[in-house]
Structure 1
Amino acid sequence: MIRRALLAAAATLALAVPAAAEDFVIVNATVVTGDGSEPIPDGVVIVAGNRVTYAGPRSGVSSFETDLVMDAQGKWVTPGLVATMTSLGLSDVSAVSESNDSRPGKSRWGAALDVSPAINPASQHILVHRGAGITRAATVTSPSGSIFGGQGAIIDLGADAQPVTKARAFQIVALGERGARISGGSRAATFVELAEALREAVAYANGRWDAESAILPRADAEALGAVVNGKQPLYVGVERASDIRAVLGLKREMPKLDLVLLGASEGWLAAREIAAAGVPVIADGLDDLPGSFEELAATQSNVGRMVKAGVKVAINANAMENPRNLNQYAGNLVALTRIPGADGLSWGQAFATISSIPAQISGLGAKGGQLAPGAVADVVIWDGDPLEVGSVPTDVYIDGVKQPLESHQTRLRDRYKDLDESDQPKAYDW
């Protein structure tokens, strides 16, 4: 009995120890560095520990210092995809409220909400998206009871018990039509609420906050202190060009604000102003038709036109709970370059919108979302061009550790894909 207990304890301890990073080399690959440059044929990627030491043409390296050399046989090798504005880890079944932590509509707090303790690393959403090549993500609750959605976290999608790599990484606020609904039915009310909240945050940070006259709970005022001091980025959900310009005006009034625009369906109309302000954008992947009155000027060329004007643009998957189609949205931006009169992106530019640029916006460092010397070894091997519909990852490494790609979806697929009628349960006989 004692021996059995010791063996069980040893097995539990083994499961708790993180897998070690590998040293490996990938040869004969189409290598994508993720920095905006075009794919490299006959490329090589070298990983030592949890870092990339080389990614480039075969001619740039003479020898390898590891015995683990993998022949990609022409497959594509890329950095892991970086998803912004997700709810990964916050729900099991989004339509079942008891399992969904993404919308705290009845909470008395807004800005103070910290998503990190609520993230479930065993969520099937994390497993499914890891299998889709996403290795890092920003996850956050959606503004619902307050115009502030709270403080998002940066997570990695590795198979371990600690997904949060940076808690309280950014603050989110909803303006436009959604903010107007929450704050009383008018944009005018939204901007007053935002301005007053920031004013109270400044007062709190300077020791002049008055609890009796304040509109914010103390915890919200304290949380917004990092925003007004420029230590925490403020992600602003906004679509209409006039609303975008109003937000840029706020930046002029409070220069310390570290702003990021979300959505920006009409961003192309204010692209020069956005670029001049140095404000990055996390844009909807592809808005081909207006979905609301604040998106009347939506166009498929929105991202291409903003990039052409000098705006730093990452793309979002338009659905927080399902960003696994990011590579398809990026592929659509490449296709737009072949349509007369449309503005799209080159292949390298498009891939950067789902790798290095969202990594930079998310604070993952200058080499985040890239295959470059010194970059963290998030490596994905694809069976084809990752921006083509139908291409899927065959191998995913996070921090140099090979990841399992199984999920509830893949197990169901494998269980039922080869069944014939004789294998069906008797209940199907009728």
Structure 2
Amino acid sequence: MFGPVAAAQDVLIRDATVHTVSARGSLQHADVLVRGGLIAAVGPGLSAPAGVQVVEAGGRPLTPALFAGITEIGIEEVSGEASTVDSHLKLGEQPLRPEFDVTLAYNPASVLVPVARVEGLGFTALGATTGGGFVAGQGGVLRLDGSLDPIGPRALYLRLGAEAAELTGQSRAAQWMLLQQMVDEARGRIAADSPHALLTPAGRRTLAGYLAGQGRIIVAVDRASDIRQLLRWAQREKVRIAIAGGAEAWQLATELAAAQVPVFVDALGNLPASFDQLGATLENAARLQRAGVPVSFAQREDVSHNARKIRQLAGNAVAHGLPWADGLAGLTRVPAQVLGVADRIGSIEPGMQADLVLWEGDPLDVAHYAEQVWLGGQAMPMRSRQTELRDRYLHRARVR
């Protein structure tokens, strides 16, 4: 009902303020030519080949399609109905299962896909959650164009700190003990047939791949001391990590920058919601960026049904010191780079996927909206179940 059209369209978007989110920066009165689902050319005064549709932008902003954050779009339909939630694994006393891959349950026909898409969101990091273990499992990048399969490498999701303590014997120290044992198993330092082994053969192979740098480990963690331990662990084991949340990450900005560890910031976090977040501040993103840390964004609540709020996170970070261009990059290029898909999406350059959004106004200001979204050159229907219900009942109200 809300899916994309059958084939990519050739289109020339003329006279836009093109925010390329690349070394070219923002281009005034520029054109973008799309051919065969890819960006063919970017610049002023481009000619429209015969038969190519022309969209007059009138100087309005054109950006890459935005990152929806780390979500459960397509693997959670109704959070209160367990039969519609596929984001976590519960196996009781069974071994931890890093091989668990939530992308296998992704439903591109989920009503949440167009709800996010009409807001200018074009891709998401589908994340495993920690309902079954502090090592949650794997996720991947999904484009919200109706595709079934993820793009790019998988990511492994962990949670550390107080929020995961109930999954590790009520001790955050036990998290490091268990994590080190899993590493030792994956590296062959503990025999696979040991009666004390934590991992299955598939789990050992999966974790070994991440230890060899074949994917990124994304860790939900907030407290500065836990982040410091995480940096030491990542350096010792030579693994690529990213941080999600990071309420107190700004306290280690220099160390994070030196290690080139990106942070998915909750830019609305300014209160100590837990003892792990006593140092929360609205300037978190700005302080990290000034130190040279790659900054993107991720919500803590309403991550799937209200993915649109991620624009508010970026705008809020800009209001508290993050440069505007870095706010937009945090919703486009930076997450694409962190997740290993920047060769395809996240910027407006020739050869990239034509995942584009034409905006009515500033994309980081929630008072403005997306006028048209193209994914792979396809003009997406700018409607969802929510918009159709709105229009239906507004019409009824007028009739009465």
**Counterpart for residue 318 of structure 1:** 300
Paired with 2:325 and 2:56, the residues of 1 have a C-alpha distance of 24
In the alignment of these two chains, the number of paired residues is: 394
Given the alignment, which residue of 228, 233, 238 partners 1:250? 233
1:124-177: CA deviations, max 9, x gaps? 1112111111111110220122111101021111135x24334x6110111111
1:266 corresponds to which letter in structure 2? E
- Is the CA contact 1:377–1:397 (under 8 Å) kept in the aligned structure 2? yes
Paired with 1:90 and 1:419, the residues of 2 have a C-alpha distance of 33
Given the alignment, which residue of 382, 386, 390 partners 2:367? 390
- Is the CA contact 2:266–2:313 (under 8 Å) kept in the aligned structure 1? no
> Which residues in structure 2 correspond to 1:85-96 (within 5 Å)?
85-96=70-81
Aligned alpha-carbon RMSD (Å): 2.3
**Counterpart for residue 339 of structure 1:** none
The answer on 1:55 being equivalent to 2:42 is: yes
Paired with 2:183 and 2:166, the residues of 1 have a C-alpha distance of 20
* Deviation of 1:367 (Å): 5.7
User: What TM-score results when the alignment is normalised by the length of structure 2?
Assistant: 0.92
* Deviation of 1:36 (Å): 7.7
- Identical-residue share of aligned pairs (%): 34
User: What TM-score results when the alignment is normalised by the length of structure 1?
Assistant: 0.86
Measured at CA, do residues 145 and 297 of structure 1 come closer, stay the same or move farther in structure 2, by a change above 3 Å? Answer: same
Given the alignment, which residue of 156, 166, 187 partners 2:172? 187
**Counterpart for residue 275 of structure 2:** 293
1:7-38: CA deviations, max 9, x gaps? xxxxxxxx999722122111122221123875
* Deviation of 1:419 (Å): 2.1
Measured at CA, do residues 243 and 128 of structure 1 come closer, stay the same or move farther in structure 2, by a change above 3 Å? Answer: same
Paired with 1:361 and 1:155, the residues of 2 have a C-alpha distance of 14
**Counterpart for residue 121 of structure 2:** 134
**Counterpart for residue 284 of structure 2:** 302
Given the alignment, which residue of 17, 26, 48 partners 1:30? 17
Measured at CA, do residues 16 and 54 of structure 1 come closer, stay the same or move farther in structure 2, by a change above 3 Å? Answer: closer
1:269 corresponds to which letter in structure 2? Q
> Which residues in structure 2 correspond to 1:141-152 (within 5 Å)?
141-152=128-139
Paired with 2:117 and 2:4, the residues of 1 have a C-alpha distance of 20
Paired with 1:311 and 1:368, the residues of 2 have a C-alpha distance of 21
Paired with 1:254 and 1:272, the residues of 2 have a C-alpha distance of 20
1:330 corresponds to which letter in structure 2? A
1:230-284: CA deviations, max 9, x gaps? 11211111111111110110122112x1111111111110000111112111121
Paired with 1:237 and 1:47, the residues of 2 have a C-alpha distance of 38
Paired with 1:303 and 1:389, the residues of 2 have a C-alpha distance of 19
Paired with 2:127 and 2:250, the residues of 1 have a C-alpha distance of 26
Paired with 2:71 and 2:371, the residues of 1 have a C-alpha distance of 23
> Which residues in structure 2 correspond to 1:158-307 (within 5 Å)?
158-160=145-147, 162-166=148-152, 169-203=154-188, 208-255=191-238, 257-307=239-289
Runs of 4+ with >6 A deviation? 15-18
* Deviation of 1:362 (Å): 1.0
Measured at CA, do residues 382 and 62 of structure 1 come closer, stay the same or move farther in structure 2, by a change above 3 Å? Answer: closer
* Deviation of 1:86 (Å): 0.8
* Deviation of 1:420 (Å): 3.0
- Is the CA contact 1:285–1:318 (under 8 Å) kept in the aligned structure 2? no
- Is the CA contact 1:22–1:49 (under 8 Å) kept in the aligned structure 2? yes
Moved more, 75-84 or 268-277: 75-84
Given the alignment, which residue of 19, 31, 39 partners 1:44? 31
- Is the CA contact 1:52–1:376 (under 8 Å) kept in the aligned structure 2? yes
Paired with 1:127 and 1:62, the residues of 2 have a C-alpha distance of 31
Paired with 1:235 and 1:40, the residues of 2 have a C-alpha distance of 34
1:167-206: CA deviations, max 9, x gaps? x6110111111222210111111110111111111118xx
Q: Which runs of 5+ in 1 are unaligned?
A: 1-14, 337-343, 424-430
The answer on 1:328 being equivalent to 2:312 is: yes
Given the alignment, which residue of 340, 346, 353 partners 2:330? 353
Paired with 1:36 and 1:100, the residues of 2 have a C-alpha distance of 41
**Counterpart for residue 348 of structure 2:** 371
The answer on 1:415 being equivalent to 2:392 is: yes
Classify the secondary structure of the residue corresponding to 1:83: strand
Measured at CA, do residues 237 and 396 of structure 1 come closer, stay the same or move farther in structure 2, by a change above 3 Å? Answer: same
Measured at CA, do residues 62 and 75 of structure 1 come closer, stay the same or move farther in structure 2, by a change above 3 Å? Answer: closer
Classify the secondary structure of the residue corresponding to 1:289: coil
1:180 corresponds to which letter in structure 2? A
Paired with 1:399 and 1:16, the residues of 2 have a C-alpha distance of 13
1:37-85: CA deviations, max 9, x gaps? 75433221111212112334x2xx4533344221112322111012331
Q: Which runs of 5+ in 2 are unaligned?
A: none
Measured at CA, do residues 159 and 218 of structure 1 come closer, stay the same or move farther in structure 2, by a change above 3 Å? Answer: closer
Given the alignment, which residue of 89, 92, 97 partners 1:110? 97
